[in-house]
Amino acid sequence: MKVKQHPYLSPEAQRLRERDNTPPWGVHPCEVDSIEPPADGTAFAAAWTEAASLRQEIERAPKN
């Protein structure tokens, strides 16, 4: 696993959110496993989908 997972809004996740400028309604790739995929068309659902896609992209990237 390249993206270490942290519980949603844990101190570790909050530090990464601040570092990466993740907005309050957003989801950071480090939080994907701790949040159920939203089923609605909200901004939060779009943010979760984007974070999950980014995490998959990072996980697929070759290790340097």
Per residue in 14-50, pLDDT (tens digit) is 999 999 999 988 999 999 999 998 888 888 899 999 9
Phi, psi of 40 (to 5 degrees): -100, 180
Phi, psi of 38 (to 5 degrees): -65, 145
Residue with more model confidence, 10 or 64: 10
Burial environment of residue 59 by CB neighbours within 10 A (0 to 12, 13 to 18, 19 or more):
exposed
Reading the block at residue 1, the tokens are 């696993």
**Contact call for residues 3 and 54 (beta carbons, < 8 A):** no
pTM of this structure: 0.84
Number of C-beta neighbours around residue 64 at 10 A: 3
Would you state the pLDDT for residue 24?
86
